Amino acid sequence: MSRRLRIAIIGTGFMGRMHAHAWRTAPRFFDLPFEPEVVVLAGSDAQRASDAASRFGIAESSDDWRAVVARDDIDAVDICTPGDTHAEIALAALDAGRHVLCEKPLANDVADADRMTDAAAAAASGGVVAMCGFSYRRTPALALARRLIEEGRVGRIRHVRAQYLQDWLTDPEAPFTWRLDRDRAGSGALGDIGAHSIDAAQWLTGSRITSVSGTLRTFVDERPVLDERVGLGGRAGAGAGAERVTVDDAAAFTASFSDGALGVFEATRMATGHRNANRIEISGDRGAVAFDFSHLNDLLFADATLPAGEQGFRRIDATEPEHPYAGAWWPAGHGLGYEHLFTHQSVDFVRAVAGEIDAHPSFAEAAGVQRVLAAVEESAASDSRSIRVEGVSS
Amino acid sequence: MSRRLRIAIIGTGFMGRMHAHAWRTAPRFFDLPFEPEVVVLAGSDAQRASDAASRFGIAESSDDWRAVVARDDIDAVDICTPGDTHAEIALAALDAGRHVLCEKPLANDVADADRMTDAAAAAASGGVVAMCGFSYRRTPALALARRLIEEGRVGRIRHVRAQYLQDWLTDPEAPFTWRLDRDRAGSGALGDIGAHSIDAAQWLTGSRITSVSGTLRTFVDERPVLDERVGLGGRAGAGAGAERVTVDDAAAFTASFSDGALGVFEATRMATGHRNANRIEISGDRGAVAFDFSHLNDLLFADATLPAGEQGFRRIDATEPEHPYAGAWWPAGHGLGYEHLFTHQSVDFVRAVAGEIDAHPSFAEAAGVQRVLAAVEESAASDSRSIRVEGVSS
Amino acid sequence: MSRRLRIAIIGTGFMGRMHAHAWRTAPRFFDLPFEPEVVVLAGSDAQRASDAASRFGIAESSDDWRAVVARDDIDAVDICTPGDTHAEIALAALDAGRHVLCEKPLANDVADADRMTDAAAAAASGGVVAMCGFSYRRTPALALARRLIEEGRVGRIRHVRAQYLQDWLTDPEAPFTWRLDRDRAGSGALGDIGAHSIDAAQWLTGSRITSVSGTLRTFVDERPVLDERVGLGGRAGAGAGAERVTVDDAAAFTASFSDGALGVFEATRMATGHRNANRIEISGDRGAVAFDFSHLNDLLFADATLPAGEQGFRRIDATEPEHPYAGAWWPAGHGLGYEHLFTHQSVDFVRAVAGEIDAHPSFAEAAGVQRVLAAVEESAASDSRSIRVEGVSS
Amino acid sequence: MSRRLRIAIIGTGFMGRMHAHAWRTAPRFFDLPFEPEVVVLAGSDAQRASDAASRFGIAESSDDWRAVVARDDIDAVDICTPGDTHAEIALAALDAGRHVLCEKPLANDVADADRMTDAAAAAASGGVVAMCGFSYRRTPALALARRLIEEGRVGRIRHVRAQYLQDWLTDPEAPFTWRLDRDRAGSGALGDIGAHSIDAAQWLTGSRITSVSGTLRTFVDERPVLDERVGLGGRAGAGAGAERVTVDDAAAFTASFSDGALGVFEATRMATGHRNANRIEISGDRGAVAFDFSHLNDLLFADATLPAGEQGFRRIDATEPEHPYAGAWWPAGHGLGYEHLFTHQSVDFVRAVAGEIDAHPSFAEAAGVQRVLAAVEESAASDSRSIRVEGVSS
């Protein structure tokens, strides 16, 4: 591991910290072809970037992502900013010949996603890697689900049922954030968490969503604005104003898959009692797999080829040495957490840069997710009429 | 309990046996204003009716339901036949002044359901009771859910998510039955089990479904016909033919409720690994309730008014003396089963006949379910376009 | 089913009602060689017996169990009284040539249990059946566990871990009952619920407990006596006195089994939050089974012969037609309840009377349980020193 | 965070890697008074130490722990070796004035543990910190359990039930390791995992175990020795020999606590189907808490002060900002893993060194655990007779 992969992280928030941790941790547990090293953290505000770099353990900081992307000593750009900035940064980075890891959603609309996909395709010919951060794919239990499906253990797939349930907006007085602003976030629960379900569904089944019929809801139209002086996480004080919510609180849609399966999707931030229940279940004629991120190390697997009297969902603790990614960690049964998804993502990114594996989710795959999101929004605006997903042949 | 309620059961199948057991059991555990007594069992075939009566512990049998309904010594008619016969029997019984308990679905189409509702309304003026058998309402845990909702513990409702998951059709070689024949059954998973979800959702929320957007799937178009000589439950032998499946294997729809809630419904007989998972969850701004018939004595309740650090779904074992129906049975924690739903239904029917309580679900409520089913079918046939449920003002 | 089995129930409490229900229900769902019929209910108080008979649906009542046992038209005596009366009634009944079903515990001490066992052995030569009511054996999920163990699916057994957790005495103000009086009840949690665990453990493993090391606790020494005028279930009113608790609130012991397995047992009525968690788990070198009566239809089974990456406890819903007893009831997935254990017990008793199967648990087996209870008490009184169970060769 | 805490890790195995990760991670998520830095890794073999240092991301390595401990630039020594070496290293480190973090068990016998405790007490007067690594205390869910108990939410404690269930020795052909050698490991399941249960029980209840009655089992007396050339994790090849197992495979004991509670403990490596189920439940007269490391982010809490009809164990996802340690990490519901226990341990160690908090578990507390282990062994060797724990007044 003599060669280094020098990385710039763009974004000083929660995701920037997460990625910094992942890059630092990956080489300590996995044998990697390159040693990743985050050399600089860029943000829009100099002081905030400097503070964050110090907290995240990164030597340098900058308030000029363009300059950072242009630096010759940077091999890869890791984009951890809100969705409305992804396209500009990614295009600049790819143009400069940098490998790019871009957080999801790839972009806030299909047009941007397509431009990014085209740029990634062009860059690929020069050996440049572009990957989108649908990190749930790197959950060992979900990766095990995919392996079982690929091995035929679920058989011909009939059903995909996905619920992504959060509850942080249950309280009508929960404060306004940029995630509730369509200009910044693109959409609400649909794009933020429903996108994860769509990516997982297509990846697990190896099949594409061909059409959708959807509906969106905004239950609370307006939310209090935090008095900045109160700080993040505080409550709106007297005299603070309110801001209009311009995205969905919840989205629901049915879907047809290219292999004939029926999908039912729900994404909401008002599922009272569920902090982060990212659930997906796939039913086939030979078996079924079911997952809930609330117990992220568990995969439930029902084998319908067993005698009827012995069937039932079994809880596989996906921490065995033979399970995806798990062998690098602790003895079986010593659970992994959320951050491992990102460490595994870093591992796969480094291996893709070295040419050992293909880079997935590709920008093209992520743009495909964006197309499904767009179709759901179009259907919701058209009386839930079924809308074909653009560019997918059924 | 000196007065008797003399009952005729029409139908010799699984449901007839269940109802016979319920009538026999109810007065042994509940103080009832009348002593119910099943005096006759009617079926289409004399020998089968006689055999069933003997097995069910009923003194008389008949192959002429019309004659039975007309008997002066019959107070109530309990209809346990397939849906295509409900209207004719119920109308005759109501016309003869008999109280009527009719298994769900009330009818196979809205027109029949409306005629039955009109007849029930007319008969009501003469003190005649008509009730439809959506038995899940009588599950103590679900009745507790309703009580909590009525008490405001869930608050303003945003979400209804209902899944009715069975798997008995997973195997493409599972044999054909009358339930797969549109003429007999009306519809497939939609009307058979989805109807339970619709009734539960409307009953629990006290709100009506105003519009739906749905889709239906038949994954296996044709199924083997059992050689009659092999007997029920056997496999199709060599030489046996096949029959066309004319109903849905699975149905999915989104729904709007009159109180603004968003509903997501799935009903399927191909949910591999789930024998009978009738699930419903209601999310509000003060709490949530979740139920799964796989553990029928449990109600999960999340109280969002507790401090955040103490919140979480709690498993209430709905067998306490203070829980609905449960006080009549065993000490807390000694679980009840499926048949108790029917015993409780018998209890409520007898009490309604005595004027102690109103009869619910009324034929009007059941016809309302039928209207939702019809709207789902219309939507599914119209590219999933949102369809308003007839007769409901939003 | 032309011949009748005429039964007298002795005992007007909760168990008498349960048995009456079981005898009434069994022939409606199972093909039986005899038609059981409860002809008389006996209790110590004439009015109470008469009232109970009316409620339970039994034609006759009596306040003289001796006379009842002596009646020529009685074939079987079903003893549902507290433990201190079992021996006298059972001996009289066996002496009169009646078949006997005796609720657990067989007796309050080993001496009585032995006398009953001897009497049962003597009566057996005349074709008289004696059975003790350890009803949990008739839970389909537990009977499935036994079948799996017999088939070798668990392999060589190393561990038995049993917890019987109730919480009805958690509150120090919960009122005194006969169950807290050593003279009536024999012992506390140990004999009342621990006995179930012991019987289940020996029956499931097919092995005997050879020695035990135990301890007993009484956390609340004295409890308020209900003012009789307040009625059962009420709270002690002002002026009501208190009664001394003379039995254990909780018992714990380790055990050695004749096949070398290690047992850990806990029985308590102060397991806060557990209404009736009767749990047992058996670990072997090929698999494990785990059961909790809180979800009585589930058996958890782990198959250790599968590849490591596919292992895990699977939830078998023990309501399939091929599962013990379950085929007589509803479609798979439509849960059974507590009372089914007693219906199944009635079925097995009738079949044993007809000579179709052996009567289990025999009085000898139940006396064996009593010996273990006695050994636990002796150990607890001897500084937890390991005590060999009398009459068992290791 | 200008000052550094320079650390030497002794031990190149799984625990060394874990601690290295914890020291590296802690300052990135917590505000610490010192910046911890691992400057050297010591092992018994120079090449192995050098390789491990490289993998763990540590600059220096050494095969001479004595020299390392003596280095002036080392502030703290972190002992991650097998138990038989703990005393010697810890005594040398304390003698040299180094702060010491020592993995559990503190020592392999009471005599060593006492010497270490004495040395720690002496060193404490000079501001030197000594802490033992019972890491499970740092699980947020368990720390929340302790907080609830301290706040009186469980009330007067009656029951402690602890099971530590692993299954890696289920297969009789699983190979021999140093953990099965009494000279190296001290004891088997008892000291390795039962010690965690003992520490957790005493810490959670704030009460001491005063006496125990125990039993030990070794089910497989001899195990194959891996052919070294096959490598770790492989199976014994032809020609490889066997080694005698000199420790327990399983331990079980009952315990009395100084507050009157009854404890039941089981620790085993043959609990088929359980990879690492570290379970503990505490029952009191106001509530109960239950934990299973298989779902390490969940705390089950039953509040017995609620109305009976609303009671039940609720699943608290202990990842809220207000939960112990959790606020430093991800948004609520994004699960933590096993390694977080060690990161939290590093945090608390650094804070203890800075004098911000007391160092727990102290060597005295850990020696107290050792005394319980010794009492269990003595009881097991004395026919399970109850043995008072040395040095604890009841």
CATH number of the domain encompassing residue C130 = 3.40.50.720
The verdict on D222 and D96 lying in the same domain is no
Residue among C145, C139, C189 at smallest CA distance from C313: C145
- Give the amino acid at B316: I
- Is A14 at the interface with chain D, CB within 8 A? yes
A157 & A197 share domain: yes
Closest CA to A283 of B167, B258, D349, B29: B167
What's residue D239's pLDDT? 52
Amino acid D236: pLDDT: 45
Nearest to B273 among A256, A271, A304 (CB): A304
Chain B CB contacts of C335 below 8 Å = 293-296, 335, 337-338
The domain tally of chain A equals 2
Which chains border D (3 or more CB–CB pairs < 8 Å)?
Answer: A, B, C
The alpha-carbon gap from A228 to the nearest alpha carbon of chain D, in Å, equals 20
Question: What residues of C are in contact with residue D219 (Cβ under 8 Å)?
Answer: 158, 260
Could you tell me whether strands A209-217 and A222-224 are parallel, antiparallel, or unpaired per DSSP bridges?
Answer: unpaired
Using alpha carbons, list the distances in angstroms from residue B20 to A311, B54, B344, C28, C57.
Answer: 32, 11, 13, 9, 16
DSSP state string for D108-128:
SSHHHHHHHHHHHHHHHTTT-
Spell out which residues of chain B touch residue C332, defining contact as CB-CB under 8 Å: 168, 275-276
Test B309 with D317 for CB contact under 8 angstroms.
no
D51 and B CB contact within 8 Å: no
Which residues in chain D are contacts of C215 at CB distance < 8 A? 213, 254, 256, 262, 386
A28, A277, A317 member nearest D294 (Cβ): A317
**Interface contact A270-B288, CB threshold 8 A:** no
Tell me if B86 is assigned to some domain.
yes
CA–CA distance, D111 with D377 (Å, rounded to integer):
15
- Give the chain B residue nearest D321 (alpha carbons): B309
Interface size B-C, in CB pairs within 8 Å, comes to 96
Mean pLDDT of all residues belonging to chain C: 95
Mutate to test the interface with A, among D19, D29, D56, D338 (most CBs of A within 10 A): D338
Check whether B393 has a pLDDT greater than 70. Answer: no
- In angstroms, what separates the C-alpha of D167 from chain C's closest C-alpha? 10
- Looking at CA atoms only, how far is residue D124 from chain A in angstroms? 32
Best mutation target, A295, A314, A320, to test chain C (most C CBs within 10 A): A314
Domain boundary among A136, A169, A196: A136
Contact D252 C264 (CB under 8 A): yes
- Whether C152 and C262 map to the same domain: the answer is yes
Chains within contact range of chain A (3+ C-beta pairs < 8 Å): B, C, D
Of B154, B159, B272, the CB nearest to A283: B272
Q: Do D315 and B316 touch (CB under 8 A)?
A: no
pLDDT band at B232 (very low <50, low <70, confident <90, very high): very low
User: Is B20 inside any structural domain?
Assistant: yes
Contact at CB, C338 and B334, closer than 8 angstroms: yes
Torsion sign (Cα): A44, A49, A52, A53: positive
**Do D92 and D168 have their domain in common?**
no
Backbone angles phi, psi at D267, to 5 degrees: -135, 125
A167, A287, A384 ranked by CB distance to B384: nearest: A384
Measured between beta carbons, the chain A residues lying within 8 angstroms of B311 are 273
Q: What torsion do the CA atoms of C226, C229, C233, C235 make, to the nearest 10 degrees?
A: -50
Q: Which of D307, D311, D323 sits opposite B309 (nearest CB)?
A: D323
In this predicted structure, the answer to whether residue B1 has a pLDDT above a threshold of 90 is: no
Please judge whether C315 and A316 are an interchain contact, meaning their C-beta atoms are less than 8 angstroms apart.
no
Please report whether residue D101 resides in a domain: yes
Contacts with A258 (C-beta within 8 Å, 6 or more apart), sequence order: A207, A208, A209, A210, A392, A393, A394
D394 inside domain: no
The pair of structure tokens assigned to A121 is 């395709």
- ipTM metric: 0.95
Q: What is the pLDDT of residue A234?
A: 41
Same domain for A372 and A228, yes or no, is yes
Q: Do residue B128 and residue B251 come from a single domain?
A: no
Q: Is any Cβ of chain C less than 8 angstroms from the Cβ of D268?
A: yes
The one-letter amino acid code at C281 reads: E
Q: Where are the alpha helices (DSSP H) in chain B?
A: 14-29, 46-56, 65-70, 86-95, 110-124, 140-150, 182-185, 189, 195-205, 339-353, 363-380
Closest D-chain CA to A295: D295
Judge whether D12 lies within some domain: yes
Say whether both C202 and C128 belong to one domain: no
How far apart CA D65 and CA D60 sit, in angstroms, is 12
Q: How far apart (Å, rounded) are the C-alpha atoms in residues A112 and B169?
A: 44
Regions of chain A with pLDDT less than 70: 1-2, 227-240, 393-394
- Collect all residues of chain C within an 8 Å Cβ-Cβ radius of residue D253: 254
pLDDT for B390 equals 84
Last residue of a domain, one of C120, C136, C152: C136
- In DSSP notation, B171-204 reads STTSPP-GGG-HHHHSSSHIIIIIHHHHHHHHHH
Please indicate if any CB of chain D lies within 8 Å of the CB of C121: no
Chain A contact for D14 (CB, 8 A cutoff): yes
- Pairwise CB contact (< 8 Å): B215 & A262: yes
Distance (Å) of CA D328 to CA D28, D286, D323, D343, D346: 10, 31, 10, 11, 14
B294 vs C contacts (CB less than 8 Å) = 317, 333, 335
Question: Do A246 and A123 reside in the same domain of the chain?
Answer: no
| CATH number of the domain within which A277 lies | 3.30.360.10
Do the chains contact at C322 and A307, CB–CB below 8 Å?
A: yes
Nearest to B114 by CA among B325, B373, B367, B316: B367
What kind and span of H or E run contains D28? helix D14-29
In a domain, B353, yes or no: no
- Give average pLDDT by consecutive 10-residue segment, chain D, 394 residues: 88 96 98 97 97 97 98 97 96 98 95 98 97 97 98 98 98 94 94 97 98 98 75 46 96 98 98 98 98 98 98 98 97 97 98 97 97 98 96 65
Last residue of a domain, one of C86, C120, C136: C136
Bridge-based pairing state of the strands B287-292 and B277-284: antiparallel
- Determine the distance from the C-alpha atom of residue D214 to the mean position of all C-alpha atoms in its chain, rounded to a whole number: 21
Q: Is C301 on the interface with A (CB under 8 A)?
A: yes
* A45 contacts chain B (CB < 8 A): no
Categorize the per-residue pLDDT at C128 as very low, low, confident or very high, splitting at 50, 70 and 90: very high
Domain-located, residue D103: yes
Chains sharing 3 or more CB pairs under 8 A with chain C? A, B, D
Identify whether residues A124 and A153 lie together within a single domain: no
Do residues B81 and B10 touch, judged by C-beta distance below 8 A? yes
C211 lies in which domain range? 138-337+362-388
Whole-prediction pTM:
0.96
D368 in contact with chain A, both atoms CB, cutoff 8 A: no
Model pLDDT for residues A291-341, shown as the tens digit of each residue: 999 999 999 999 999 999 999 999 999 999 999 999 999 999 999 999 999
B200 and B178 assigned to the same domain: yes
CA–CA gap between residue D135 and residue B37 (Å, rounded): 66
Q: What is the DSSP string of C105-126?
A: SS-SSHHHHHHHHHHHHHHHTT
Q: Do B264 and B176 share a structural domain? A: yes
Say if D393 falls within a structural domain: no
B51-73: pLDDT as tens digits: 999 999 999 999 999 999 999 99
Do C116 and C146 reside in the same domain of the chain?
Answer: no
Q: Report phi then psi at D25, rounded to 5.
A: -85, -35
